[in-house]
Amino acid sequence: MTTRWLSEKEQRAWRAYIAATHLLEDAIDRQLQQDAGMPHLYYSILANLSEAPEGRLRMTDLAERAKITRSRLTYAVTRLEKDGLIRREDCQWDKRSSFAMLTDEGMAVLERTAPGHVETVRSLLFDQLTPEQVEQLEEIFSGLAQTLERDEERPTPEDVPWRRRSSGPCS
Amino acid sequence: MTTRWLSEKEQRAWRAYIAATHLLEDAIDRQLQQDAGMPHLYYSILANLSEAPEGRLRMTDLAERAKITRSRLTYAVTRLEKDGLIRREDCQWDKRSSFAMLTDEGMAVLERTAPGHVETVRSLLFDQLTPEQVEQLEEIFSGLAQTLERDEERPTPEDVPWRRRSSGPCS
DNA sequence: GACGCTTGGTTAAAGTTTGAAACAAACCTA
DNA sequence: TAGGTTTGTTTCAAACTTTAACCAAGCGTC
Protein backbone atom coordinates (compact mmCIF):
# COMPACT_ATOMS: atom_id res chain seq x y z
CA MET A 1 0.00 0.00 0.00
CA THR A 2 1.40 3.39 -0.97
CA THR A 3 1.28 5.94 1.80
CA ARG A 4 -1.22 8.74 1.66
CA TRP A 5 1.09 11.57 2.71
CA LEU A 6 -0.20 14.79 4.16
CA SER A 7 -0.79 17.70 1.82
CA GLU A 8 0.93 21.01 2.39
CA LYS A 9 -2.17 22.35 4.03
CA GLU A 10 -2.59 19.31 6.21
CA GLN A 11 1.01 19.52 7.30
CA ARG A 12 0.61 23.13 8.28
CA ALA A 13 -2.56 22.29 10.17
CA TRP A 14 -0.91 19.37 11.94
CA ARG A 15 2.13 21.33 12.99
CA ALA A 16 0.08 24.22 14.23
CA TYR A 17 -2.10 21.78 16.13
CA ILE A 18 0.86 20.11 17.80
CA ALA A 19 2.50 23.38 18.72
CA ALA A 20 -0.62 25.05 20.05
CA THR A 21 -1.89 22.10 22.06
CA HIS A 22 1.48 21.63 23.72
CA LEU A 23 1.94 25.30 24.49
CA LEU A 24 -1.59 25.60 25.80
CA GLU A 25 -1.34 22.57 28.02
CA ASP A 26 1.99 23.77 29.36
CA ALA A 27 0.62 27.20 30.11
CA ILE A 28 -2.39 25.78 31.92
CA ASP A 29 -0.23 23.40 33.88
CA ARG A 30 2.01 26.22 34.96
CA GLN A 31 -0.87 28.38 36.05
CA LEU A 32 -2.53 25.63 38.05
CA GLN A 33 0.71 24.48 39.58
CA GLN A 34 1.27 28.05 40.70
CA ASP A 35 -2.18 28.80 42.01
CA ALA A 36 -3.50 25.41 43.06
CA GLY A 37 -0.34 23.39 43.59
CA MET A 38 -1.38 20.68 41.18
CA PRO A 39 -1.18 19.95 37.46
CA HIS A 40 -4.13 20.26 35.14
CA LEU A 41 -5.02 16.59 35.28
CA TYR A 42 -5.42 16.65 39.04
CA TYR A 43 -7.56 19.74 38.85
CA SER A 44 -9.73 18.01 36.25
CA ILE A 45 -10.22 15.11 38.58
CA LEU A 46 -11.50 17.41 41.27
CA ALA A 47 -13.64 19.25 38.75
CA ASN A 48 -15.15 16.02 37.51
CA LEU A 49 -16.00 14.96 41.02
CA SER A 50 -17.52 18.31 41.83
CA GLU A 51 -20.03 17.83 39.07
CA ALA A 52 -20.99 14.29 39.95
CA PRO A 53 -23.98 13.54 42.19
CA GLU A 54 -22.84 13.76 45.82
CA GLY A 55 -19.38 14.72 44.59
CA ARG A 56 -18.32 11.15 44.11
CA LEU A 57 -17.65 8.64 41.36
CA ARG A 58 -16.38 5.11 41.11
CA MET A 59 -12.74 4.95 40.12
CA THR A 60 -13.49 3.42 36.75
CA ASP A 61 -16.09 6.02 35.87
CA LEU A 62 -13.80 8.79 36.95
CA ALA A 63 -10.96 7.39 34.87
CA GLU A 64 -13.32 7.18 31.92
CA ARG A 65 -14.40 10.79 32.27
CA ALA A 66 -10.90 12.09 32.75
CA LYS A 67 -9.66 10.02 29.80
CA ILE A 68 -6.88 8.38 31.74
CA THR A 69 -5.89 4.85 32.73
CA ARG A 70 -7.06 3.37 35.99
CA SER A 71 -3.55 3.03 37.30
CA ARG A 72 -2.77 6.64 36.61
CA LEU A 73 -5.91 7.55 38.44
CA THR A 74 -5.00 5.38 41.40
CA TYR A 75 -1.77 7.30 41.75
CA ALA A 76 -3.44 10.67 41.38
CA VAL A 77 -6.18 9.87 43.86
CA THR A 78 -3.63 8.64 46.34
CA ARG A 79 -1.88 11.96 46.19
CA LEU A 80 -5.06 14.00 46.36
CA GLU A 81 -6.16 11.89 49.28
CA LYS A 82 -2.89 12.64 51.06
CA ASP A 83 -3.58 16.31 50.42
CA GLY A 84 -7.00 15.86 52.00
CA LEU A 85 -8.90 16.93 48.90
CA ILE A 86 -10.42 13.54 48.18
CA ARG A 87 -11.58 10.65 50.33
CA ARG A 88 -11.97 7.05 49.25
CA GLU A 89 -15.13 5.17 50.14
CA ASP A 90 -15.96 1.63 49.34
CA CYS A 91 -19.03 0.68 47.49
CA GLN A 92 -21.71 -1.20 49.37
CA TRP A 93 -23.32 -3.16 46.58
CA ASP A 94 -20.17 -4.09 44.70
CA LYS A 95 -17.32 -4.96 46.99
CA ARG A 96 -14.78 -4.59 44.19
CA SER A 97 -15.53 -0.95 43.50
CA SER A 98 -14.46 2.07 45.42
CA PHE A 99 -15.53 5.66 45.20
CA ALA A 100 -13.43 8.76 45.09
CA MET A 101 -15.28 11.54 46.87
CA LEU A 102 -14.51 15.22 47.04
CA THR A 103 -13.95 16.44 50.59
CA ASP A 104 -15.07 19.84 51.82
CA GLU A 105 -11.50 20.96 51.60
CA GLY A 106 -11.28 19.68 48.05
CA MET A 107 -14.38 21.63 47.15
CA ALA A 108 -12.95 24.69 48.81
CA VAL A 109 -9.72 24.45 46.85
CA LEU A 110 -11.70 24.08 43.68
CA GLU A 111 -13.84 27.11 44.43
CA ARG A 112 -10.85 29.16 45.32
CA THR A 113 -8.89 28.28 42.21
CA ALA A 114 -11.58 27.94 39.58
CA PRO A 115 -11.70 31.63 38.69
CA GLY A 116 -8.01 31.72 37.91
CA HIS A 117 -8.21 28.60 35.85
CA VAL A 118 -11.20 29.81 33.88
CA GLU A 119 -9.56 33.15 33.32
CA THR A 120 -6.50 31.41 31.93
CA VAL A 121 -8.49 29.21 29.60
CA ARG A 122 -10.48 32.17 28.46
CA SER A 123 -7.60 34.49 27.86
CA LEU A 124 -5.39 31.96 26.15
CA LEU A 125 -8.05 30.25 24.11
CA PHE A 126 -11.48 31.78 23.80
CA ASP A 127 -10.41 35.40 23.75
CA GLN A 128 -8.32 34.53 20.73
CA LEU A 129 -11.21 33.11 18.75
CA THR A 130 -14.16 34.62 16.95
CA PRO A 131 -17.60 33.25 17.85
CA GLU A 132 -17.59 31.34 14.57
CA GLN A 133 -14.28 29.77 15.44
CA VAL A 134 -15.58 28.68 18.82
CA GLU A 135 -18.42 27.06 16.94
CA GLN A 136 -15.99 25.37 14.55
CA LEU A 137 -13.78 24.23 17.37
CA GLU A 138 -16.66 22.56 19.11
CA GLU A 139 -17.90 21.00 15.92
CA ILE A 140 -14.53 19.59 14.98
CA PHE A 141 -13.48 18.32 18.38
CA SER A 142 -16.72 16.85 19.51
CA GLY A 143 -16.76 14.86 16.29
CA LEU A 144 -13.20 13.74 16.85
CA ALA A 145 -13.80 12.88 20.48
CA GLN A 146 -16.67 10.68 19.46
CA THR A 147 -14.80 8.65 16.88
CA LEU A 148 -11.70 8.42 19.03
CA GLU A 149 -13.80 7.18 21.89
CA ARG A 150 -15.28 4.51 19.68
CA ASP A 151 -11.83 3.48 18.50
CA GLU A 152 -10.74 3.26 22.10
CA GLU A 153 -13.23 0.51 22.80
CA ARG A 154 -11.89 -2.10 20.43
CA PRO A 155 -8.26 -2.77 21.36
CA THR A 156 -6.37 -2.89 18.05
CA PRO A 157 -9.21 -3.96 15.79
CA GLU A 158 -7.32 -4.84 12.62
CA ASP A 159 -3.72 -5.48 11.75
CA VAL A 160 -1.45 -2.73 10.51
CA PRO A 161 -0.14 -3.48 7.01
CA TRP A 162 1.70 -0.36 5.99
CA ARG A 163 5.21 0.15 4.70
CA ARG A 164 7.56 2.23 2.50
CA ARG A 165 7.19 5.93 1.95
CA SER A 166 8.42 8.63 -0.38
CA SER A 167 7.82 11.88 1.45
CA GLY A 168 8.18 13.57 4.86
CA PRO A 169 7.67 12.16 8.37
CA CYS A 170 5.12 14.86 9.30
CA SER A 171 6.33 15.15 12.91
CA MET B 1 -12.81 41.35 39.53
CA THR B 2 -15.78 39.12 38.81
CA THR B 3 -14.92 36.00 36.87
CA ARG B 4 -15.86 35.75 33.23
CA TRP B 5 -17.18 32.18 33.28
CA LEU B 6 -17.43 30.07 30.18
CA SER B 7 -20.70 30.02 28.28
CA GLU B 8 -22.49 26.76 27.62
CA LYS B 9 -21.07 26.65 24.16
CA GLU B 10 -17.58 27.43 25.33
CA GLN B 11 -17.79 24.72 27.96
CA ARG B 12 -18.86 22.17 25.39
CA ALA B 13 -16.03 23.25 23.12
CA TRP B 14 -13.51 23.09 25.92
CA ARG B 15 -14.54 19.64 27.08
CA ALA B 16 -14.55 18.29 23.56
CA TYR B 17 -11.14 19.80 23.03
CA ILE B 18 -9.72 18.24 26.17
CA ALA B 19 -11.18 14.84 25.43
CA ALA B 20 -10.18 14.73 21.79
CA THR B 21 -6.65 16.01 22.25
CA HIS B 22 -5.98 13.49 25.01
CA LEU B 23 -7.47 10.59 23.11
CA LEU B 24 -5.63 11.52 19.95
CA GLU B 25 -2.30 11.91 21.66
CA ASP B 26 -2.79 8.59 23.44
CA ALA B 27 -3.67 6.81 20.22
CA ILE B 28 -0.64 8.22 18.44
CA ASP B 29 1.62 7.34 21.33
CA ARG B 30 0.35 3.79 21.31
CA GLN B 31 0.86 3.40 17.59
CA LEU B 32 4.37 4.78 17.65
CA GLN B 33 5.33 2.82 20.72
CA GLN B 34 4.15 -0.30 18.90
CA ASP B 35 5.75 0.34 15.55
CA ALA B 36 8.76 2.48 16.38
CA GLY B 37 9.40 1.67 20.02
CA MET B 38 9.18 5.29 21.10
CA PRO B 39 6.55 7.80 22.13
CA HIS B 40 5.36 10.60 19.90
CA LEU B 41 7.68 13.18 21.39
CA TYR B 42 10.76 11.14 20.55
CA TYR B 43 9.53 10.55 17.05
CA SER B 44 8.99 14.30 16.66
CA ILE B 45 12.54 14.93 17.72
CA LEU B 46 13.82 12.65 14.99
CA ALA B 47 11.41 14.20 12.51
CA ASN B 48 12.56 17.68 13.38
CA LEU B 49 16.17 16.70 12.92
CA SER B 50 15.45 15.03 9.61
CA GLU B 51 14.21 18.32 8.24
CA ALA B 52 17.06 20.43 9.51
CA PRO B 53 20.08 21.18 7.31
CA GLU B 54 22.55 18.29 7.66
CA GLY B 55 20.09 16.56 9.98
CA ARG B 56 21.31 18.42 13.00
CA LEU B 57 20.29 21.19 15.37
CA ARG B 58 21.58 22.78 18.52
CA MET B 59 19.85 21.51 21.61
CA THR B 60 18.15 24.80 22.30
CA ASP B 61 16.83 25.16 18.78
CA LEU B 62 15.59 21.61 18.81
CA ALA B 63 13.85 22.16 22.14
CA GLU B 64 12.28 25.28 20.74
CA ARG B 65 10.94 23.50 17.68
CA ALA B 66 9.66 20.55 19.63
CA LYS B 67 8.05 22.87 22.19
CA ILE B 68 9.68 21.19 25.15
CA THR B 69 12.02 22.21 27.93
CA ARG B 70 15.73 21.86 27.49
CA SER B 71 16.03 19.42 30.33
CA ARG B 72 13.35 17.19 28.92
CA LEU B 73 15.21 17.24 25.64
CA THR B 74 18.47 16.32 27.31
CA TYR B 75 16.86 13.22 28.71
CA ALA B 76 15.23 12.27 25.42
CA VAL B 77 18.39 12.78 23.41
CA THR B 78 20.33 10.70 25.88
CA ARG B 79 17.95 7.84 25.35
CA LEU B 80 17.88 8.21 21.57
CA GLU B 81 21.65 8.36 21.61
CA LYS B 82 21.75 5.09 23.54
CA ASP B 83 19.47 3.63 20.87
CA GLY B 84 21.94 4.81 18.25
CA LEU B 85 19.43 7.03 16.47
CA ILE B 86 21.08 10.31 17.36
CA ARG B 87 24.65 11.39 17.92
CA ARG B 88 25.83 14.42 19.89
CA GLU B 89 28.41 16.72 18.40
CA ASP B 90 29.90 19.77 19.99
CA CYS B 91 29.73 23.08 18.35
CA GLN B 92 32.98 24.54 17.07
CA TRP B 93 32.24 28.22 17.26
CA ASP B 94 30.38 28.20 20.55
CA LYS B 95 31.87 25.83 23.05
CA ARG B 96 28.75 25.94 25.21
CA SER B 97 26.47 24.53 22.57
CA SER B 98 26.08 21.00 21.40
CA PHE B 99 24.32 19.55 18.41
CA ALA B 100 22.01 16.62 18.20
CA MET B 101 22.46 14.90 14.86
CA LEU B 102 20.42 12.18 13.25
CA THR B 103 22.46 9.05 12.52
CA ASP B 104 21.93 6.89 9.45
CA GLU B 105 20.17 4.42 11.64
CA GLY B 106 17.97 7.16 13.01
CA MET B 107 17.06 8.22 9.51
CA ALA B 108 16.35 4.62 8.61
CA VAL B 109 14.01 4.17 11.56
CA LEU B 110 12.23 7.35 10.59
CA GLU B 111 11.80 6.25 7.00
CA ARG B 112 10.60 2.88 8.05
CA THR B 113 8.05 4.16 10.52
CA ALA B 114 6.87 7.38 8.89
CA PRO B 115 4.21 5.73 6.72
CA GLY B 116 2.53 4.14 9.71
CA HIS B 117 2.60 7.35 11.65
CA VAL B 118 1.20 9.40 8.80
CA GLU B 119 -1.47 6.83 8.20
CA THR B 120 -2.49 7.05 11.84
CA VAL B 121 -2.64 10.82 11.85
CA ARG B 122 -4.58 10.78 8.66
CA SER B 123 -7.09 8.18 9.65
CA LEU B 124 -7.69 9.52 13.15
CA LEU B 125 -7.68 13.19 12.27
CA PHE B 126 -7.83 14.30 8.67
CA ASP B 127 -10.10 11.57 7.40
CA GLN B 128 -12.62 12.74 9.98
CA LEU B 129 -12.65 16.33 8.76
CA THR B 130 -14.09 18.06 5.75
CA PRO B 131 -11.71 20.20 3.69
CA GLU B 132 -13.32 23.29 5.23
CA GLN B 133 -12.66 21.93 8.68
CA VAL B 134 -9.02 21.31 7.87
CA GLU B 135 -8.88 24.91 6.80
CA GLN B 136 -10.54 26.03 10.04
CA LEU B 137 -8.27 23.86 12.11
CA GLU B 138 -5.21 25.41 10.58
CA GLU B 139 -6.57 28.89 10.90
CA ILE B 140 -7.48 28.47 14.56
CA PHE B 141 -4.38 26.68 15.72
CA SER B 142 -1.79 28.64 13.86
CA GLY B 143 -3.29 31.74 15.40
CA LEU B 144 -3.21 30.18 18.83
CA ALA B 145 0.32 28.91 18.41
CA GLN B 146 1.45 32.35 17.53
CA THR B 147 -0.03 34.10 20.54
CA LEU B 148 0.99 31.30 22.88
CA GLU B 149 4.50 31.52 21.58
CA ARG B 150 4.55 35.23 22.24
CA ASP B 151 3.23 34.69 25.75
CA GLU B 152 5.94 32.13 26.31
CA GLU B 153 8.64 34.70 25.84
CA ARG B 154 7.78 36.96 28.73
CA PRO B 155 7.92 34.91 31.94
CA THR B 156 4.80 35.88 33.91
CA PRO B 157 4.26 39.38 32.59
CA GLU B 158 1.70 40.74 35.04
CA ASP B 159 0.37 39.70 38.41
CA VAL B 160 -2.74 37.59 38.77
CA PRO B 161 -5.45 39.40 40.71
CA TRP B 162 -8.46 37.12 40.56
CA ARG B 163 -10.72 35.61 43.24
CA ARG B 164 -14.21 34.33 44.09
CA ARG B 165 -16.53 32.65 41.67
CA SER B 166 -20.17 31.76 41.27
CA SER B 167 -20.27 29.10 38.60
CA GLY B 168 -18.52 25.90 37.48
CA PRO B 169 -14.83 24.98 37.48
CA CYS B 170 -14.85 24.16 33.74
CA SER B 171 -12.54 21.15 34.12
C1' DG C 1 -21.42 -24.86 43.60
C1' DA C 2 -17.10 -24.98 41.32
C1' DC C 3 -14.65 -23.84 37.19
C1' DG C 4 -13.38 -20.29 34.13
C1' DC C 5 -13.94 -15.67 32.40
C1' DT C 6 -14.56 -10.79 33.13
C1' DT C 7 -14.41 -6.61 35.86
C1' DG C 8 -12.63 -3.13 39.35
C1' DG C 9 -8.83 -1.78 41.39
C1' DT C 10 -4.03 -1.75 43.06
C1' DT C 11 0.99 -2.57 42.94
C1' DA C 12 5.82 -2.65 41.64
C1' DA C 13 9.43 -1.46 38.62
C1' DA C 14 10.99 1.00 34.96
C1' DG C 15 10.70 5.01 32.36
C1' DT C 16 9.71 9.92 31.81
C1' DT C 17 9.00 14.78 33.16
C1' DT C 18 9.65 18.73 36.03
C1' DG C 19 11.89 22.58 38.27
C1' DA C 20 15.54 24.24 40.49
C1' DA C 21 20.25 24.45 40.88
C1' DA C 22 24.89 23.93 39.02
C1' DC C 23 28.42 24.79 35.53
C1' DA C 24 30.96 26.61 32.10
C1' DA C 25 31.58 29.43 28.13
C1' DA C 26 30.48 33.84 26.05
C1' DC C 27 29.39 38.50 26.48
C1' DC C 28 29.32 43.00 28.38
C1' DT C 29 31.11 47.15 30.39
C1' DA C 30 33.34 50.24 33.18
C1' DT D 1 40.62 43.09 31.62
C1' DA D 2 38.33 41.92 35.94
C1' DG D 3 33.76 41.49 37.43
C1' DG D 4 29.17 40.61 36.66
C1' DT D 5 25.55 39.03 33.64
C1' DT D 6 23.63 36.19 30.17
C1' DT D 7 23.38 31.95 27.52
C1' DG D 8 23.61 26.84 26.53
C1' DT D 9 23.44 22.80 28.63
C1' DT D 10 23.42 19.29 32.10
C1' DT D 11 22.40 17.29 36.65
C1' DC D 12 19.69 15.90 40.46
C1' DA D 13 15.71 14.79 43.22
C1' DA D 14 11.04 14.60 43.42
C1' DA D 15 6.84 13.94 41.04
C1' DC D 16 4.42 11.66 37.62
C1' DT D 17 3.24 7.92 33.99
C1' DT D 18 3.40 3.44 31.97
C1' DT D 19 3.19 -1.46 31.60
C1' DA D 20 2.51 -5.67 33.07
C1' DA D 21 1.32 -8.37 36.65
C1' DC D 22 -1.59 -9.28 40.40
C1' DC D 23 -5.65 -9.97 43.54
C1' DA D 24 -10.22 -10.15 44.72
C1' DA D 25 -15.10 -9.98 43.75
C1' DG D 26 -18.81 -10.70 40.47
C1' DC D 27 -20.80 -13.49 36.61
C1' DG D 28 -22.09 -17.34 33.78
C1' DT D 29 -22.70 -21.98 33.14
C1' DC D 30 -22.51 -26.64 33.23
Residue A1 clears pLDDT 70, i.e. is over it: yes
Confidence of residue B167 (pLDDT cuts 50, 70, 90): low
In total, the C-beta contacts within 8 angstroms joining chain A to chain B are 231
In this complex, is the C-beta atom of B18 within 8 Å of any C-beta atom belonging to chain A? yes
Q: Is residue B5 part of a domain?
A: no
Average the pLDDT over B31-55 and give the result: 95
Q: Which of B20, B135, B141 sits opposite A145 (nearest CB)?
A: B20
pLDDT at B159: 37
Average the pLDDT over B69-96 and give the result: 95
On the CB side of A167, how many CA atoms lie within 13 Å of its CA?
15
pLDDT at A151: 74
User: Using alpha carbons only, how large is chain B's radius of gyration in Å?
Assistant: 20
Total count of domains within chain A: 1
pLDDT at B3: 84
Q: What percentage of chain B carries pLDDT values higher than 90? A: 83
Q: Is residue B122 part of a domain?
A: yes
Residue A153 clears pLDDT 80, i.e. is over it: no
- Classify residue A38 as exposed, middle or buried by CB count within 10 Å of its CB (0-12, 13-18, 19+): buried
pLDDT at B54: 92
B114 neighbourhood in chain A, CB within 8 Å? 3, 165, 168-170
**Residue ranges of E strands in chain B:** 56-58, 86-90, 98-102
pLDDT at B108: 96
A144 vs A10, A54, B125, CA distance in Å? 16, 31, 7
pLDDT at B58: 96
Residue B100 clears pLDDT 90, i.e. is over it: yes
Q: Is residue B166 part of a domain?
A: no
Q: How far apart are CA A125 and CA A79, in angstroms?
A: 29
Q: Which of B13, B18, B119 sits opposite A4 (nearest CB)?
A: B119
Residue B148 clears pLDDT 70, i.e. is over it: yes
Confidence of residue B152 (pLDDT cuts 50, 70, 90): confident
**Residue A83 is part of a domain; what is its CATH number?**
1.10.10.10
Confidence of residue A85 (pLDDT cuts 50, 70, 90): very high
pLDDT at A72: 98
Q: Is residue A126 part of a domain?
A: no
DSSP label at A127? G
Q: Is residue B161 part of a domain?
A: no
Residue A163 clears pLDDT 60, i.e. is over it: no
Q: How far apart are CA A77 and CA A59, in angstroms?
A: 9
Q: How far is CA A12 from the centre of its chain?
A: 24
Convert the pLDDT of each residue in B50-70 to its tens digit: 999 999 999 999 999 999 999
Range of the domain at B91: 10-150
Q: Is residue A13 part of a domain?
A: yes
Q: Is residue B155 part of a domain?
A: no
Q: Is residue B102 part of a domain?
A: yes
On the CB side of B100, how many CA atoms lie within 13 Å of its CA?
28
Are A151 and B116 an interchain contact pair (Cβ–Cβ within 8 Å)? no
